[in-house]
Amino acid sequence: MSSFSGALVQLVITPNILGLTTKTAEYRGQQSLYEQQIPQVLDTLLNHSIIQSTESSNRIEGIIVNSKRFDSIMNNKSKPNNRSEAEIIGYRDVLKIIHERHQYIPIRPNTILQLHRDLMTYVGSGQGGRWKSVDNVIEEILPGGEKRVRFQPTPAWQTAEAIDELCRTFDANRDFGTWPDVLLIGTFILDFLCIHPFPDGNGRMARLLTLLLLYQSGYLVGKYISIEKVVEDTRDQYYETLFKSSEHWHDGKHDLIPWLEYFLSIIVKAYRLFEERVGDLKSNQQKGWKQKRIRAVVQSFVADFSIADVEERCPGISRPMITKILRDMSKDGTVECIEHGRRARWVLKTK
């Protein structure tokens, strides 16, 4: 059942959805300002976002690789040794395609199949680029270890037709222009997850398609701030709103609002992080702004932190500069190094 011919037609816009939609449009309009004035900062954010997006999107699915191997794989210095590493490489490659060629990628079933094929290229299971051939279920593991079915996706025999209808109705609604693109994108992703068209990789594909559709509509924040990381940080809310909005989906009687409110909030959160990372453009032009920025970021931490944590929030500032300021803050008693070595961690000293 497509939401575009059912739930979306009956959708009543809540004040919260209206406010979030308006906010995303405002943020989108401010992007060109940053792109014109601080391209070097955006380059730093872009590189970091690719790494963080690949790590977070896979980690949501329980795919974890130790940091040394992960860095080596992301830098094309190693070939995969196991399935987890193979899936990391696949996500990295598809993410790069979307970043560089999103305007040339139509939303069609064959395109989705091709992206999934690329995602699974190194896995070697033979499942990449093919719709599921057997029915699947979405389960959750209860505290006691028992499994519970949360949702029964579209049957395998209906999958190809369902994806075709999804793509057609999405394009038709986008061309018609009745709804803001960002609401159509959220609706598309919900339906994609409810169809669950692949035997593996559905969650990661949904996040990649989210970026693709956002980029095509001018929402470029995912290039600079990892939307996947924002989702990972709100994982419980992600699953809960998905569950709420998928109830009665097969009958076309589901409620889009919980999911759309969550989806929009994720985009707004990413834009707010973007502003935070970039900082005030005027202050960035003043002498000594780098030191002030580092100190402000360090003072904002409520728990222990690493140099990488500071680096993430200080785009355009080199690691040696961050290290120097941390040493200065250590000497003046502001911070304390509680773990030394390659994985050094710091903490604010209480007064």
- Residue 152 CA to residue 174 CA, distance in Å, equals 28
What pLDDT is attached to residue 243? 92
Residue numbers of the domain that contains 292:
283-348
Residues 252 and 293 in one domain: no
Residues 101 and 155 in one domain: yes
Residues 50 and 31 in one domain: yes
Residues 334 and 244 in one domain: no
- Residue 134 CA to residue 198 CA, distance in Å, equals 10
Query: CB-side exposure of 177: number of CA atoms within 13 Å?
Result: 0
What pLDDT is attached to residue 310? 85
Residues 200 and 220 in one domain: yes
Residue 203 is encoded by which pair of tokens?
């969650």
Residues 80 and 186 in one domain: yes
Q: What does the pLDDT look like over 68-118, one tens digit per residue?
A: 888 888 888 888 889 999 999 999 999 999 999 999 999 999 999 999 999
What pLDDT is attached to residue 351? 60
The residue from 221, 245, 278 where one domain ends is 278
Residues 272 and 169 in one domain: yes
Strands 138-141 and 335-339: unpaired
Residues 146 and 217 in one domain: yes
Q: How far is CA 263 from the centre of its chain?
A: 11
Total count of residues recorded for the chain: 351
What pLDDT is attached to residue 281? 46
CA distances from 237 to 58, 109, 182, 281 (A): 18, 29, 19, 33
Residues 180 and 290 in one domain: no
What pLDDT is attached to residue 210? 98
Consecutive sets of 10 residues in the chain, 351 residues long: mean pLDDT of each?
A: 82 92 91 70 82 92 87 86 92 95 95 96 86 87 73 94 96 91 97 96 96 95 93 94 93 93 97 80 60 84 84 76 88 86 80 60
Residues 121 and 203 in one domain: yes
What pLDDT is attached to residue 275? 83
Domain containing residue 162: CATH number: 1.10.3290.10
Q: How many structural domains compose the chain?
A: 2
Other CB atoms within 10 Å distance of the CB of residue 255 = 16
Residues 158 and 98 in one domain: yes
The residue from 278, 312, 331 where one domain ends is 278
Domain containing residue 329: CATH number: 1.10.10.10
The residue from 244, 262, 278 where one domain ends is 278
- Residue 7 CA to residue 252 CA, distance in Å, equals 6
Query: CB-side exposure of 284: number of CA atoms within 13 Å?
Result: 17
Q: In 3-state terms, what secondary structure has residue 336?
A: strand
Residue 206 is encoded by which pair of tokens?
């949904």
Residues 199 and 138 in one domain: yes
